[in-house]
């Protein structure tokens, strides 16, 4: 209920109290005892203000109009409150739906980022190691990273490069051994080429 509704309610209750008490005072003053009730003048007064069921009737129309006004104001306030609650409920539902959509999109972006940053590089490393285990020297993996995965890629590239050098040296050594006019390599020269 708004401030105006509270003021209206206070005015109506004051009117009801003032009106009822006013007529009650008239009746109480006119009827101090049973003998005065039997007096004909007082009987006319009683008929004027009191219904056969004992209710004060003279002020009923004014009071009923005010009570109806109060009821109408209360119903409109109640309707407004219900509409406000429904609006708030709809906003809450919309906010919840938007939050869920944002959460799903955020999780998809996070998943894509994790796959891009970790799974793909690890997959490339695994593929290179698989080739190495089969005796195939894979090409070097391009690397821009400066984290642990980047260090692993750098070490794998070094290993691949050193294995290529060793393979080339072995191939060269094998050619020299097979060629009859070749000179025998001194052991020191062998180790120099191996670790160069």
Measure the CA–CA gap between 127 and 99, rounded to whole angstroms: 40
Residues 71 and 146 in one domain: no
- Confirm whether 113 is domain-assigned: no
Quick one: pLDDT at residue 14?
64
State pLDDT tens for residues 40-94.
776 666 666 666 665 555 555 666 666 677 778 888 888 999 999 999 999 999 9
97 in a structural domain: no
What's the pLDDT score for residue 56? 56
When comparing pLDDT for 10 and 122, which is higher?
A: 122
Alpha-helix residue ranges (DSSP H) falling in the chain: 3-30, 34-38, 40-49, 60-114, 120-133, 148-178, 187-194
The two tokens of residue 150 are 């980047």
Last residue of a domain, one of 91, 110, 125: 91
What total number of domains does the chain contain? 2
- pLDDT value of residue 109: 97
pLDDT tens, residue by residue, 101-151: 999 999 999 999 999 888 888 999 999 999 988 888 888 988 888 888 889
CA dihedral 63, 69, 75, 79 (to 10 degrees): -170
CA distance linking residue 16 with residue 63, whole number of Å: 6
* Residue 107: inside a domain: no
Return all residues near 160 (Cβ < 8 A) that are at least 6 apart.
128, 132, 137, 138, 139, 140
193 bridge partner residues? none
What is the rounded distance in angstroms from the CA atom of residue 75 to the CA atom of residue 33? 45
Q: For residue 79, is it within any domain? A: yes
Q: Using the 3D structure, point to which of 37, 69, 91 is the last residue of a domain.
A: 91
> Within this chain, do residues 82 and 161 fall inside the same structural domain, yes or no?
no
Summarised one tens digit per residue, pLDDT across range 162-191 is 989 988 888 888 777 766 554 554 455 555
Task: Kindly state whether residue 102 falls inside one of the protein's structural domains.
Answer: no
Strand pairing partners for 50?
A: 56
pTM comes to 0.46
Instruction: Confirm whether 105 is domain-assigned.
Output: no
81/145 same-domain check: no
The boundaries of the domain holding residue 56 are: 3-91
Asked if 74 contacts 81 with a C-beta cutoff of 8 angstroms, the reply is no
In this prediction, residue 62 carries a pLDDT of 63
Q: Find the length of the chain.
A: 196
Residue 121 resides in a domain: no
Residues 16, 62 contacting (CB under 8 angstroms): no
Of 61, 91, 121, the residue at which a domain comes to its end is: 91
Q: Does any domain span residue 127?
A: no
- Residue 23 sits in the same domain as residue 84: yes
Spatial separation of the C-alpha atoms in residues 51 and 48, rounded to whole Å: 8
């Amino acid at each position: 209920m708004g401030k105006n509704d509270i003021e209206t309610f206070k005015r109506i209750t004051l009117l009801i109290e003032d009106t009822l008490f006013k007529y009650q005072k008239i009746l109480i003053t006119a009827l101090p005892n049973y003998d005065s009730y039997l007096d004909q003048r007082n009987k006319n007064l009683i008929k004027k203000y009191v219904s056969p069921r004992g209710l004060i009737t003279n002020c009923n129309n004014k009071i009923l109009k005010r009570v109806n006004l109060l009821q109408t104001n209360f119903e409109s306030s109640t309707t407004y409150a219900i509409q406000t609650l429904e609006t708030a409920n709809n906003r809450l539902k919309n906010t919840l739906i938007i939050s869920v959509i944002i959460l799903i999109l955020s999780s998809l972006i996070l998943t894509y980022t994790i796959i891009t940053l970790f799974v793909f590089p690890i997959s490339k490393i695994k593929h290179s190691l698989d080739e190495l285990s089969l005796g195939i020297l894979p090409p070097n993996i391009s690397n821009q990273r400066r984290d642990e995965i980047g260090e692993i890629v750098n070490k794998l590239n070094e290993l691949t490069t050193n294995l290529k050098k060793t393979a080339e040296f072995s191939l060269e050594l094998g050619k020299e051994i097979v060629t009859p006019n070749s000179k025998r390599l001194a052991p020191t020269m062998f180790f120099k080429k191996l670790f160069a």
